[in-house]
Amino acid sequence: MANAVNESLEVISGVTEKVSPLLSKIVIAILILLIGLIIGKLIGNLIRRALNEVQLDKHLRTVVGLKFSLEKIVGNFVSYFIYFMAIVMSLNSLGLTTAILNMISAAIIVIVIVSFILAIKDFFPNFIAGIMIRSKKVFNEGDVIQIKEVRGRITSIGFLETKLLTPNKEEVIIPNSIFNKRQITIVRKKYSKKKK
């Protein structure tokens, strides 16, 4: 029985030796994170107030005509940078820095790729439609066309979009891919004088 008690005490002491360093690492990581959040908020507010004292936004509005608050943007940037550094230091104290940073890097790469794909998804159909419109000469600048409820005179035909001027003198920009999907009515063709 004494032997079983000794074995139980050894197991418990082994567990506490392993749990105690892990618990202390977690406490240190939480403290670093809290201190970083407090310092980030304070420094961000101090920078915002300092820029407000020199009236940065007022000067930029009068000189450049900026409509957004640069004081707020700079203050928030500094705060978020300090928050990020606190998170990295906290993860470093847990020994998880490389694994977490690799996951964050992978997530950023995926977001950039998805954003790029979403940005160009309309480019190619519009570009191909623009080439077809120009090569087939379906309509020309100066023609009056109607597509769905929009009616106007064509002012320019680009590779990605066509601009119309409505009778109300409003400029309407229509992506070229729309012309492949909708029925176009050419109301009045612009006749060019033939050279002799």
* Predicted pLDDT at 126: 83
Distance of CA 118 to the CA centre of its chain: 12
* Predicted pLDDT at 12: 53
This prediction's pTM: 0.45
Query: How many residues does the structure list for the chain?
Result: 196
Four-CA torsion 154, 155, 158, 163, nearest 10 degrees: -70
Phi-psi region of 65 (alpha: psi -120 to 50; beta: other; left: phi over 0): left
Q: Is the pLDDT of residue 57 over 70?
A: yes
* Predicted pLDDT at 42: 93
* Predicted pLDDT at 46: 92
Q: Is the pLDDT of residue 194 over 50?
A: no
Q: Greater confidence, 157 or 101? A: 157
Q: Greater confidence, 59 or 192? A: 59
* Predicted pLDDT at 193: 46
Q: In what order do the strands lie in the sheet with 144-147?
A: 171-175, 161-165, 150-157, 144-147, 184-188
Q: Greater confidence, 11 or 67? A: 67
Q: Is the pLDDT of residue 195 over 70?
A: no
Give me the amino acid identity at 119: A
Residues of the chain with CATH 2.30.30.60: 127-188
Query: Lowest-pLDDT range, 36-45, 57-66, 110-119?
Result: 57-66
Q: Greater confidence, 159 or 61? A: 159
State the DSSP string of 123-185: HHHHHHHHHHHHHHTSS-TT-EEEETTEEEEEEEE-SSEEEEE-TTS-EEEEETTHHHHS-EE
Q: What is the CATH number of domain 127-188?
A: 2.30.30.60
Q: Which of 47-51, 56-60, 99-103 has the highest mean pLDDT?
A: 47-51
